[in-house]
A and B are shown apart, each in its own frame.
Chain A
Amino acid sequence: MSMQIKEFFIYLIIMAGSTYLIRAIPFVVIKEKIKNNFIKSFLYYIPYTVLMAMTFPAALYVTGHLISAVIGLLAACLLALKNKGLTLVAVVTSVVVLVCELIIMVL
């Protein structure tokens, strides 16, 4: 354990505090319904664009091999197209990647 305990807690306060406040302040402060259609449209799109930017292309490189990630994510897309739930998609994708990695290991 290279890090001092005191320093850990300072970091923790910064991390947890900033993350909490960035959630809570807009949640508490915005009381009116937003009328502006541009802002409404922006708020509609933002969660999906965030998730996409986090997923692509980073997710291609989190498994052992590019090919297993590609096959896994294609499986995820296919299941999601069939409106399967979050957990089922996550579990099946992990299993698909595991199988791919095992096949690559054997070959």
Chain B
Amino acid sequence: MKKSEFIEGLKSGIPIGLGYLSVSFTFGIMAVSLGFNWWQALLVSMTTLTSAGQLAGIGVMVMPGAYIEMLVSQLTINVRYAFMSISLSQKLDSKFKGVFKWLLGFFITDEIFAVAISKEEIKRSFFFGLGVCPYIGWALGTFLGAILGNVFPEIIMNALCIAIYAMFVAIIVPVCKKDWKTTIVVLLSGLLSACFYYIPVFKTISSGLQVSVCAVVAAILGAIIFPRKEGNEHAN
């Protein structure tokens, strides 16, 4: 482990950790309002480390014995991680292998992916450092939300709920600004998503599956119509 790279990763993870703190705070509140204990909410966050999947997960948990539904919802919501893992695997340095992949693979989230993929080469120590603050932020925020949630008025909670989406916007927009092709592909995904959301026939499909379908269809069309040039996969 190279210390300087670890520290660099640690620093890069601070904004993600702060973002997660506010987002998981909301998760903690929601979990408690559904009837979970604080330690259950915390345990979910510490073992699962994902936003949309956990949110859907606690919704399924309140129903008795819906194990298959839990599995299906998690797989469809989280299938994006498989794609992100493959993307990341293409950029790992030579020391990033074996048991380190099994351990550090746990840290792959949307935001950690976004930061890591912007590097030319992903070093093991850097990636480990990058995971630390988001993990602490996610767990701590859940704990605080579960303990203190009822203290805050609804109007503040409404404002906090938008934070995670603002973070997504902050990841998408700078990339679109540099590349109009990506902009079109992203807009296409949004258009499909709106169709699913507003056309009654599609309302029966779970929101996690909707996201996966929209994203995969848009990305396939993007890959066909606007293939990336060799050596320019992730324009900086």
Contacts and interface: CB of A to CB of B under 8 A. Distances in A.
Note whether A and B form a binding pair.
Answer: yes
Interface of A: 1-3, 7-8, 10-12, 14-16, 18-20, 22-28, 30-31, 33-34, 37-59, 62-64, 68-69, 72-73, 76-77, 79-81, 83-95, 97-98, 101-102, 105
A34 B102 CA distance: 20
Q: Tell me if B's interface is mostly helix, strand, loop or mixed.
A: helix
Contacts of A28: 101-102, 105
Contacts of A85: 15, 170
A98 B87 contact: no
Contact of A45 (B60, B158, B190, B223): B223
A18 B74 contact: yes
Contacts of B64: 3, 7
Contacts, number: 314
B86 A83 contact: no
A27 B108 contact: yes
Contacts of A50: 80, 83, 110, 189, 211-212, 215
A56 B190 contact: yes
B87 A46 contact: yes
Nearest to B107: A23
Q: Tell me if A's interface is mostly helix, strand, loop or mixed.
A: helix
Nearest to A5: B40
A63 B106 contact: no
B15 A87 contact: yes
Please indicate which of the listed interface residues B57, B60, B169 has the most CB atoms of chain A within 10 Å of its own CB. B169
A77 B186 CA distance: 14
Given A45-B222, A63-B161, 12 more contacts: A18-B71, A23-B106, A26-B82, A48-B186, A49-B218, A50-B215, A51-B168, A77-B173, A86-B15, A90-B163, A90-B167, A98-B155
A19 B113 CA distance: 15
Contact of A93 (B162, B176, B223): B162
The 8 closest A-B CB pairs, nearest first, are: A80-B173, A93-B166, A24-B105, A59-B165, A41-B223, A98-B159, A16-B47, A49-B189
B142 interface: no
Contacts of B220: 42
Interface in B18-38: 18-19, 22, 35-37
Nearest to B98: A28
